[in-house]
Amino acid sequence: MGVNLGRDELERLVRASLDEDIGRCDLTSEAVVPQDARARGVFVAKQELVLAGSEVALTAFRLMDPEVEWESAVNDGAMTSAGQLIAVVRGRARPMLAAERVALNFLQRVTAVATLTRRFVAAIAGTGVRVRDTRKTTPLLRALEKYAVELGGGLPHRSGLDSGVLVKENHVRLAGSVLIATRRACAAAEGHLVEVEVEHLDQIEEALGAGAGMILLDNFEPEEVRRAVRLVAGRVPVEVSGGVRLDNVRAYAEAGPNFIAVGALTHSAPGADISLEIEPEG
C-alpha cells in the first residue's frame, strides 16, 4: 500500500503502540467477551476525507490475530464522502477489541494529514506551485505523516537532518552571517543542494553570491514574496514558509514562488472523523 516504512519497522512501531495501550491484558474484554467469539468491524468515514493509513490499521489487527481478514472498500489516497464504508475487518473478537483503538488512532491521524494536505493543494490549483511539508512532525510518525502528505498531493521535504542541507536562522546566528553560513554549507554539501533561509530581502543576494541553490523566504508577506521572487529572477528555486494558512495560501502562491512549506500539514491537522463499529459474527 506504499507506506514509507519497511515491514519490520512498521511492525515495531505498531507493536510498541499496542504494548502501550494493552499493557498486561485487556481486562474488560477478557471479562465480558467469550474466548471463542468472532466479530466483524466496520470502518465508516464520518466526513469527507482523503483516506490514508489502511496498512497501519491492518497491521495492528494482524499482530493481534494473524488470521484476521481485511476487506478494503476504499484505497488509500481516495476521497470519501460522509457515511461511506472504508473497510471491513473480521476475526476473533478479543484480539479485535484489543487492536481497535490503536488501529483507529493511526488511521485517523494519517488520514487527517492527507486530508488537510489535499485542501491546501486544492487551494492553489492552477498556480504551478507545490505544497511541501516540514520536519514539524509527530515524534516517530514522520514516515507515516510524509506518506500522508504524498497521498494528499503534497511534496515531502527532507526526511531528516541527514537528507538535505537547509541553513536556517539559528545556523546564521551561530556562524555570524548568511554569507559565512552559506559558504560553509556549500563547502561541505557533498552534492546536496543548499537551501538558505532568509529573513530580509537584503540577505538574498548575500545567499546567492555564496552559492545557495534555493532560497527559503521565512515569514514574508505575499507582497514581499513577490518582490523577492523578482530579485531572485529565476536563478534558483524559491520556497516560502511561515504564516501560511488555508485562507492566504493562494495569495502566497500567486506571488510566484516554486514551493510553499506548510508546517500545519503535520502539526495541526484536525483528527479525521472515522468510526469503527464492532458486532458479533457467526
pLDDT in tens, 138-195: 999 999 999 999 999 999 999 999 999 999 999 999 999 999 999 999 999 999 999 9
Q: Is 218 within 8 Å of 198 (Cβ atoms)? A: yes
Domain count, the chain: 2
Rounded CA-CA distance 131/157 in Å is 10
> Could you give the residue numbers annotated as active site?
101, 136, 168, 197, 218
Whether residues 30 and 86 share a domain: the answer is yes
The predicted pLDDT at position 3 comes to: 65
Rounded CA-CA distance 133/114 in Å is 11
Q: Is position 2 within any domain? A: no
Rounded CA-CA distance 170/261 in Å is 18
How high does pLDDT run on average in the chain?
A: 96
The predicted pLDDT at position 2 comes to: 54
Rounded CA-CA distance 225/239 in Å is 9
Rounded CA-CA distance 180/173 in Å is 10
The predicted pLDDT at position 6 comes to: 87
Query: Does residue 207 have a pLDDT over 80?
Result: yes
The predicted pLDDT at position 1 comes to: 42
Residue 69 is inside which H or E element, if any? strand 69-72
Whether residues 164 and 256 share a domain: the answer is yes
Tracing cell 538535505 back to the chain, one arrives at 164
Q: What is the pLDDT of residues 93-110, one digit of tens each?
A: 999 999 999 999 999 999
Whether residues 103 and 135 share a domain: the answer is no
Q: Is 196 within 8 Å of 214 (Cβ atoms)? A: yes
Whether residues 85 and 22 share a domain: the answer is yes
Whether residues 47 and 148 share a domain: the answer is no
* DSSP alpha helix (H) spans, the chain: 7-22, 27-32, 54-64, 93-123, 142-151, 169-175, 178-188, 204-209, 222-232, 249-254, 264-267
Whether residues 263 and 128 share a domain: the answer is yes
Whether residues 18 and 146 share a domain: the answer is no
Whether residues 112 and 151 share a domain: the answer is no
User: Angle 206-200-244 (CA atoms, 0-180°, nearest 5)?
Assistant: 125
